Structure 1
Amino acid sequence: MTAQPDDPADGGPALFRVIRFWSRRWINRTSADLPDELRHAMYVQVVEAVAAASGEGTEATVSAVAHQLGLDHSGASRMVRDATAAGYLRRSESSLDRRRTVLHLTVRGEELLGEARDWQRRIFTELTADWSLRDRRRFAGYLRRLSDDMRP
């Protein structure tokens, strides 16, 4: 049984926030230099970062993506450029400061985010399949707490 977003046992997205926090192996590479599975993972990272920045009540910018991913501005800029070219993001003018560009998920980006979160939940369920529901919920809660404590 796969957890739903409001289920206390929904630790998949929290687990992958922890992983995203620590994984930086493609910082200085363009998407063209990456094998397909890492390119896809890079797009997921950017989409997750834009969604997280937008969800915090701020505008998602390249600087916000850099902050979310723990990258320098140029590395984040390359990742945003590639994700935009791939159709996962669109750019618009900031409503707060016309000099700034804001990033938004496209329909394709929203779909990728949903697919990634579903996959994350399935992996969490698989990894904890032999655990009691009580233990899965407790672990998911601890993972969410850990990932919330790590928010930039």
Structure 2
Amino acid sequence: SRAELAGAGPALFRLVRFWSRRWATASVGEPSDDTPLIQDVQVLEAVDAAARHGEVSVTDVALQLGLDRSGASRLIAAAVDHGYLTRSASGRDARRVTLDVTPAGADVLTGAHAFQEEVFARLTAGWDPAEAAGLARGLRRLADETRPD
């Protein structure tokens, strides 16, 4: 019913704001020079998602992140500097740059995904298993339906 859905939108955005600011320190303690930045994780997620369709360009990352090319380019440059991505000439068009996740970047993604699974398990630990499974299905569906690819 409509009453059951009331407040779901604001609740979703509260969760997004809350967790988007906390994943790194919660997963590894106090940040150090080696701690991946949330921006690095976001770029890696974007490259990983876009790679399902072939070579990944700056434009692909910009689309995934909802940014203009210059904003995406700055984030990509930082991820390259941190050793998480490589840039190379496209195999299809030498004028284009293609982006690939490095082994270090893959490790960051693996760690981020493990942390995300741990957070979900902690947050739903006291829930009825059927309710937690229902939320998991709903979240996956929502994420799949809003994917920009």
- TM-score band, normalised by shorter chain: 0.7 to 0.9
Aligned residue runs from structure 1 range 98-109, under 5 A: 98-109=94-105
Instruction: Give the Cα separation in 2 of the matches to 1:108 and 1:19.
Output: 26
Larger helix proportion, structure 1 or 2? 2
Instruction: Give the Cα separation in 2 of the matches to 1:144 and 1:82.
Output: 29
Instruction: Give the Cα separation in 2 of the matches to 1:144 and 1:83.
Output: 27
1:45 to 35, 42, 46: 42
Q: Percent identity?
A: 45
Higher normalized contact order (CA 8 Å, seq sep 6+, divided by chain length): 1
Shift of 1:54: 0.5
Unaligned runs of 5+ in 1: 1-14, 24-34
- Report the aligned-residue RMSD: 2.5
1:76 to 72, 75, 100: 72
2:51 to 47, 50, 54: 54
Instruction: Give the Cα separation in 1 of the matches to 2:99 and 2:66.
Output: 17
Shift of 1:58: 2.8
Unaligned runs of 5+ in 2: 1-11, 21-31
- 1:3 maps to none
| Structure 2 residue 144 is matched with structure 1 residue 127 | no
TM-score for the superposition, normalised by structure 1: 0.73
**CA distances 1:123-147 after superposition (whole Å, capped 9, x unpaired):** 0111111112221111111101111
Instruction: Give the Cα separation in 2 of the matches to 1:78 and 1:119.
Output: 26
CA gap 1:67/1:19 in 2 versus in 1, 3 angstroms: farther
Asked if structure 1 preserves the Cα contact closer than 8 Å seen for 2:89 and 2:95, the reply is yes
Whichever of the two has the greater Rg, that structure is 2
Shift of 1:149: 1.0
- 2:108 maps to 112
Instruction: Give the Cα separation in 1 of the matches to 2:84 and 2:40.
Output: 8
TM-score for the superposition, normalised by structure 2: 0.74
> What is the total number of aligned residue pairs between the two structures?
122
Question: Which of structure 1's runs of 4+ aligned residues deviate more than 2 A?
Answer: none
